[in-house]
Amino acid sequence: MDRSLETLFNDDLIAGEKIYWSGQPDPSVIFSASDFLMIPFSLMWGGFAIFWESSVLGLTSFGHGNKAPFFMVLWGIPFVAMGLYMIFGRFFYKVWKKKRTFYAVTNLRVLIVSEGFRRQIQAQFLNQIPIINKSVGSNGTGSLSFGSIGGFGSYYMNNGLDFFTYRMNQSVMTFYDVPQAEMIYQMINELRNKALAPK
């Protein structure tokens, strides 16, 4: 257990609560499963947006060297900005977010603290976790979701575009890209079984 991270949760613990594990997502893991579709889509979106903006500015032969009305120039700017964000900007955001995200497992709860623009904490009691969904790579790094996210929520998970489904993703706590994910999964299951056992 990382003692330096453990102290970060001290003010968030309740009576009788003890931390068994604490850690962070691995910032070197920048790709997720959804990127198999997101990367080609972002290249198409960004490529078309840049082509559009170049054309209305008269920078391509498609526009015959003539500038389009100023409104059309303005219209393309947010699409170019979104395209550039989807192509590479979201990966920088992902690393920034991971370095400010902290996970903990206690004898009573799972906790997530985010220290981005403001400090946020999510907590779920072990005996209230309906299901644990696990995805572990060959190197042992993986993600654990304490519940199920359906529809578009799962598509936007952990790819830098999760703000599109922020409320949906917030409803299901997830430890993303944690080393030794199998060990953490087994630990949570053991503690969860104890929490569910009749007193």
Domains of the chain: 3-27+100-196 (2.30.29), 35-96 (no CATH)
* Res. 62 pLDDT band, cuts 50 70 90: low
The 10s digit of each residue's pLDDT in 15-35 is 989 999 999 999 999 888 778
> What pLDDT shows up at residue 166?
59
> What pLDDT shows up at residue 52?
81
Report the alpha-carbon distance of residue 82 to residue 182 in Å, rounded. Answer: 36
Strands (E) in the chain, as ranges, are 19-23, 101-106, 109-115, 119-125, 133-136, 142-145, 174-178
Q: What is the pTM of this model?
A: 0.83
Report the alpha-carbon distance of residue 171 to residue 165 in Å, rounded. Answer: 10
60 within 8 A of 51, measured Cβ to Cβ: yes
Please choose, from the candidates 104, 124, 105, the residue with its C-alpha nearest in 3D space to the C-alpha of residue 114.
104
The 10s digit of each residue's pLDDT in 126-163 is 999 999 999 998 999 999 999 877 655 566 678 888 76
Q: Give me 46's structure tokens.
A: 């960004």
**Average pLDDT of span 104-110:** 95
Q: Give me 177's structure tokens.
A: 């890209």
